[in-house]
Chain A
Amino acid sequence: MTTDDSAAVEAIVNEFAADRSRLLDIVEAVQRRSGYVSDEAVQAIAMGLQIHAVEVEDMISFYAFFDRHPRGRIRIRLSKTPVSFITGANDVARAFEAALGINIGETSADAGFTLQWTSDIGMADQEPAALVNGIVLTKIKPDDVPAIVAALRQHDDLALARHAIANAVVRPSLVQAGPLLTGPFDHGAGLRYALALAPDQVIEAITASKLRGRGGAGFPTGTKWRLTRKSKGQEHYVACNADEGEPGTFKDRVLLSDFADLVFDGMTIAGYALGARHGLVYLRGEYAYLWEALQAVLKTRRALGLLGSNICGHAGFDFDIRIQLGAGAYICGEESSMIESLEGKRGAPRDRPPFPTERGYLQQPTAVDNVETYVCAARILEKGAAWFQGYGTAASSGTKLMSVSGDCARPGVYEVPFGITVNELLDLVVAADAAYVQVSGPSGQSVAPKDFGRRIAYEDLSTGGSTMVFGPQRDVLGIALQFAEFFVDESCGWCVPCRVGTTLLRQGMQKIVAGRATLADVTETEALANTVMRMSRCGLGQSAPNPILTTMRSFPELYEARLQPGAFAPRVTLQEALAEAVEVQGRQPVAEEV
């Protein structure tokens, strides 16, 4: 690293006021400038922040989008999900390999390109999709690939390349809007209603609406806000969880693209209700392409007096919003991991208690809510709790945004009232021959046709909205194995049951899918899955076994069909076990004489 570079890193550190809690932004800026974070850059950052290099490395090495070694100037990350695979992602990968002359995981000799897989990028309704540095490519066909690569080679400026690539477009995903997302919309309507009330009355209105968290856990929002307001602290914080990482979900992307004003309205209402001056949006790194547009919305809101000081003329109500960009880690959708990441650390979850409502961001009371929850809050203040309760069921009021993808004619986002059955949803998306539906993503449940009469609601099938539909031609257990792999990639590693257990579960599923498992193996895998569920520290590990446990319940016949008879069957065949020796010796083993 030249002195120039050192000076640049120093300037970046100073840009963030040498604030330790902004380490993620600092590293992101260094990565953007140099393509990776060198040893020298780590030292310079550590010196600038007066922390140890090992702490900087601890953070950097956690995130998939940060590199400690130089990679290609252009990073092609192909979305790896069961939905991308059924739409042809493997063929697209082969086409990229051919066009670039490298294999997946490799960097080209001229350091021009790196090609790799990445976890779901939130484009399940337009797969196969890929991230190319900050650009999103969708609906890629193998035939498109040569032109994509040619455009990337031709233009040094990616902004220019983008215009030359037909796939570089994110299509509108909203198929069906309901009461929440049907206009008219007025800048700050909900906020103005809120400011006419006392903060406690705002919380009462949210409580009366029976709004529950839309991320999937379903905690009553009114209660969360009340607890946060009640907690003592130097500051209170409003955090918006926009780390929409659950494979198969993309409704928050729609909200952030098309309804950002409602999201920020909801956050500002929360700021008023909680007595907070600061709002934080944790935007997943995969959605970096939304950055400019979101900043523009914030700027407009500041100009309109909807953010900043004395908002809407309400003396003493000051509130503003900062967007924190993530860097490729599913776990950061877990609220305590998200808070760690917001503080510029690795996204390892915290043990609770204390809950974020008591000690969250910077150890201060923090309300963490999903993007959709804030949209609901804004509309509830605008239209009233009774209006909201007019939709849904008694225990699940309002509507839910469902992200539907897979084997259906009309994938996309649907706003539906809670209480809708799986069958009704499948009719909407035109999926008459659905044979398996994964509700709420890999951390949710595998649902078989016999259960398609069940309802989408907190009291029945609770969901964050991800709905992956699979037809009769799909391999259910193969998909469960892909989900098991997803959790191996995304386990944070902090606790043993999740770190090791997810890997062992993948091995167990591999043996089952390969048709080498006996009944004893299936029983063993089930027992292990239950242990991982009971012993893991956070929601990731506790739900990682779900695809295995729920397919065992919903599709026992598929497991039975792949069983080996007998008490024991080896994980690998003799031939595979000896493969390395055969290669070294250049001869086959001598068959045992009888």
Chain B
Amino acid sequence: MTAEMLRFTVDGIEVEAVSGQSILEACDIAGIYIPRLCYHPDLEPGGNCRVCTCNVNGRNVAACITPAAHGMRVENDTKLLTDDRRSVIEMLFVEGEHPCPYCVASGDCELQALGYRLALKAPLQPYRWPRREIDATHPDITLDHDRCILCSRCIRASRMEDGKTIFGFDGRGITMTLNVDAQGGLGETQMAAIDKAAHVCPVACIVINRNSYRVPNGRRRFDTMMIGSDIEARRKP
């Protein structure tokens, strides 16, 4: 163990981390999957979805933004946390509109995949049926606000990776929506289909046109493997 290495436990399993790593990053390397939604490995963490919430030394914190510290005791795979995470996923399903059977992202959608992984059945909470408009002003990209889960990935990607700041939030609370940097919609912005921001959406809010069925249903990422199983495959026995 070098000087900057530190050790902590996750559900009793010892994990090594480098100082500065988040709990989630350290666990990813160690092959322990912590469910997450707004986190993206190429982006600064946002802390929006709270799905990666773990119990650390008795306190709930989001694993994506909490630095690993030596000796911390992390609970991840417990019934209580799984129930709470499922409840958060259910909230997203009833907040927006997510008709998986005919959604272009079906099988490639992290929200849907987490629903399966966390064994979400039909939501018990009432649907909100929001009225949100589709932004089809861009020739190569469609913005389907019905699907947006306000994870801020595109906001972060556009600002930090693309240097464009195409996206922002509008409003607050339950009326909050995704906003673009032009009154006339996405088509009036500098957004390009090759931008990082166009490729980080976990659902089918930002959709690249003429591209959606290259991979047919049934053969997509999460049709063939459970979300997180790639991370778990790294685990050394």
Contact = CB atoms under 8 A, between A and B. Distances in A.
Contacts, number: 122
A535 B183 contact: no
Interface in A313-355: 329, 346, 351, 353
A57 B84 contact: no
A346 B169 contact: yes
B49 interface: yes
**Interface secondary structure of A, over-half rule:** helix
B62 interface: yes
A362 B149 CA distance: 29
A39 B181 CA distance: 12
Of B62, B92, B171, most buried by chain A (CB within 10 Å of CB) is B171
B179 A58 contact: yes
Interface in A487-506: 488-497, 499-504
B82 to A, nearest CB: 12
B166 interface: yes
A524 B150 CA distance: 25
B142 interface: no
B87 A528 contact: yes
B21 interface: no
B50 A55 contact: no
Of B60, B88, B174, B179, most buried by chain A (CB within 10 Å of CB) is B174
Contact of A54 (B49, B53, B149, B180): B180
A122 B19 CA distance: 46
A61 interface: yes
A501 B172 contact: no
Contacts of A108: none
B172 A62 contact: yes
Interface string B176-190: 100111110000000
A58 B124 CA distance: 33
Contact of A61 (B83, B126, B170, B181): B170
B95 interface: yes
A54 B165 contact: yes
Nearest to B37: A496
B70 to A, nearest CB: 15
B50 A536 contact: yes
A493 B150 contact: yes
Contacts of B183: 39
A52 interface: yes
Contacts of B172: 61-62, 329, 346, 491-493
B150 A497 contact: no
B173 A490 contact: yes
Contacts of B166: 54
Interface residues of A, number: 40
Nearest to B62: A351
Given A54-B180, A351-B47, A353-B67, A493 B53 contact: no
A495 B95 contact: no
A61 B182 CA distance: 15
Contact of A534 (B48, B67, B84, B171): B84
Contact of B84 (A329, A346, A490, A535): A535
A328 to B, nearest CB: 10
A492 B167 contact: no
Nearest to B178: A54
B128 interface: yes
B50 A496 contact: yes
B124 A507 contact: no
Interface string B86-113: 0110011011000000000000000000
Nearest to A55: B168
Given A488-B173, A493-B171, A500-B92, 14 more contacts: A55-B165, A57-B179, A58-B170, A62-B169, A351-B66, A490-B173, A493-B174, A494-B48, A496-B149, A499-B173, A500-B174, A503-B174, A528-B125, A535-B87
Interface of B: 47-51, 53, 60, 62, 65-67, 80, 83-84, 87-88, 91-92, 94-95, 124-126, 128, 149-150, 165-176, 179-183
**A-B residue pairs, 9 tightest by C-beta:** A493-B176, A500-B91, A54-B181, A54-B168, A58-B168, A491-B173, A52-B165, A351-B65, A531-B87
